[in-house]
Structure 1
Amino acid sequence: MAALQYLESVCNAHPELSDWYTTLSDLYQRKLWHQLTLKLDQFVSLPLFQAGDTLIQLYDNFITDFETKINLLKLAHFAVIVSRQYPEKEAAIGYLEGVAEKLRNTKETRIKEPILFIKMQIALFKLEQGDQKECQKLLDEGKTTLDSMTDIDPSVYASYYWVSSQYHKSRQDFAEFYKSSLLYLAYTSVESLSESFKLVLCHFLFCQPTLPHLLVCIT
């Protein structure tokens, strides 16, 4: 099978990671999709794979073989991580739109969450391209989707409020930026925050005299 051949080839090229690739191969052959998802979650977070196109190759040659068999929200998480390795934003957006279309074609009942998660990354790419209008459109659609759902995974809320914070920051609407940032914090762990983001928030929390009014708006 092509997926196993790919794992074998990269295992030979990177013998120091043979234990990882052997485990992935074993779980794949045994069709233990949940366990495979957990292992992939650890694998894609390895510092070694945060540069280059290794994760793009992993997705194209391995994950695509079983992508709709695993938890679809987790698939969306993987897709977003992979999209950040594309050197061109348009290519990344095209890739994510393709994954979203595959999600729609599954006809599963809970596809709003993973599709929204992917759309928020597309919105962020649009913002990075300077397209504030399209980013705002996707945010508005995202808010409507969130309001229509219940029992939403925290990562989906976090993705929405993160993009919202960056959108308002780009418009220099700092009251809305900090409001969205604090809401983002409610749905994510402190450990996952970048140092630059922590510094910006710390500066605001200690220096912003209107903080009590902002907290009233949030609550």
Structure 2
Amino acid sequence: MGAALEYLEEKRNAQPELAEWYDAMADLYQKKLWHQLTLKLDQFVSLAIVQAGDCLIQLYHNFITDFEMKINLLKLAHFAVIVSRQYSEREAAISYLEGVIEKLRATRELRIEEPILYVKMQIAAFNLEEGNQKECKKLLEDGKSMLDGMTDIDPSVHASFYWVSSQYHKNRQEFAEFYKNALLYLAYTSVESLSESFKLDLAFDLSLSALLGDNIYNFGELLAHPVINCLIGTKVEWLYYILQAFNDGNLALYQELCHVHGASLNAQPALVVNQKKLLEKINILCLMEIIFSRPSEDRTIPLSIIAERTRLSIGDVEYLLMKSLSENEVISDFWVTICCVFIDFLYANILLAKRALILQS
């Protein structure tokens, strides 16, 4: 009996509750059914009982290493990343992953860039956790170059890159960049594969970044994504309704929500620090809603109407119009007079279907 089988036998005796798993893996290993063994391992490493301690580290070094170059190398990269998270010391985890990369490079297989990039992104994530933003940024830049030179990329590789990119920008409080990368991560990830706690945290972070990110005026894409529904029925449900208020350009509702949920909002430093910015953004969205609510042939809007809806002075309304232009949300030939403003065309990067229909009518 080889060392790999001896290890499985030892584990079978030590963990009788997992005996069927170890028996199945031993059988597939002996029959050299590498694809089926890969599928069985994929199921095994996701079991809650093997997540604690160094169970997976031992499994890799005593069993998987015996046949690791016989299985799909991207799946090997997936296993390696899962194993690396069991190391208590980040330096040891990085060293382990660097060793895996060396093995991958030594195979000289085609399409080796995919598994290497996947592993590198976990190394970047560990560097970020350790506060080494510089090394994380370098790995992300290298990763972007690798992605640009690849075709037919597995979704898991894209997802790993965009996830680490999002966390890098979150760490730096670069809200718009976090928002963009987090949405791209979700584009390559099955929402059903994510835990409820993970989805809730991500929905919360996405919501804050949408509110605080520069030049983010479309909330329809986020509100249409199933992950955002995780906010409903939780203690942070108020954030969902604030997103709705911004999406509708409903200043009155936003101010009411701020009053009702003041304690919750004040518990979020980023919202407190950016109160003025948030008010400015919803005023622009309110202006957009005023324009969309009027017939396409009637875009002569008295400043007094805008002032009433936004609760601003005439002078502040003029500033709001100029701010809207600078944000590229309103593109027009327009004239501001003492009493009215003509807005010829409103542009937004992505429009909700109902608004697009209104604009085309």
* TM-score using structure 2 length: 0.58
Q: Secondary structure at the match of 1:212?
A: coil
Output the CA distance in 1 between the equivalents of 2:64 and 2:14. Answer: 19
Partner of 2:218: 212
How far did 1:211 drift? 3.9
Q: Letter of the aligned partner of 1:160 in structure 2? A: F
How far did 1:169 drift? 0.5
Once the two structures are superposed, the pairs formed by residues 65-214 of structure 1 within 5 Å of their partners are 65-193=66-194, 194=198, 195-204=200-209, 210-212=216-218
Output the CA distance in 1 between the equivalents of 2:202 and 2:118. Answer: 21
> Cα 1:11–1:105, aligned 2, differ >3 Å: closer, same or farther?
same
How far did 1:204 drift? 4.9
Output the CA distance in 1 between the equivalents of 2:141 and 2:166. Answer: 13
Output the CA distance in 2 between the equivalents of 1:152 and 1:159. Answer: 12
Contact 1:165–1:181 (CA under 8 A) maintained in structure 2: yes
> Cα 1:140–1:213, aligned 2, differ >3 Å: closer, same or farther?
farther
Contact 1:179–1:214 (CA under 8 A) maintained in structure 2: no
4+ aligned runs moved over 4 Å, structure 1: 202-209
Q: Letter of the aligned partner of 1:59 in structure 2? A: Y
Partner of 2:303: none
| Count of aligned pairs | 217
Output the CA distance in 1 between the equivalents of 2:138 and 2:220. Answer: 25
CA RMSD of aligned residues (A): 1.9
CA offsets, 1:127-149, max 9 Å, x none?
00100010000000000000001
How far did 1:114 drift? 0.1
Higher share of residues assigned helix: 1
Q: Letter of the aligned partner of 1:11 in structure 2? A: R
Higher relative contact order (CA 8 A, sep 6+): 1
Output the CA distance in 1 between the equivalents of 2:147 and 2:191. Answer: 23
Output the CA distance in 1 between the equivalents of 2:193 and 2:71. Answer: 24
CA offsets, 1:22-66, max 9 Å, x none?
000000000000000000000000011112100000000000000
Output the CA distance in 2 between the equivalents of 1:18 and 1:51. Answer: 18
Gaps (5+ residues) in structure 2? 222-348, 351-361
Gaps (5+ residues) in structure 1? none
Output the CA distance in 1 between the equivalents of 2:40 and 2:217. Answer: 42
Contact 2:179–2:210 (CA under 8 A) maintained in structure 1: no
Partner of 1:29: 30
How far did 1:203 drift? 4.9
Q: Secondary structure at the match of 1:149?
A: coil
CA offsets, 1:54-93, max 9 Å, x none?
0000000000000010000000000000000000000000
* TM-score using structure 1 length: 0.94
Q: Percent sequence identity over matched residues?
A: 69
Partner of 2:42: 41
Partner of 1:64: 65
Output the CA distance in 1 between the equivalents of 2:216 and 2:118. Answer: 32
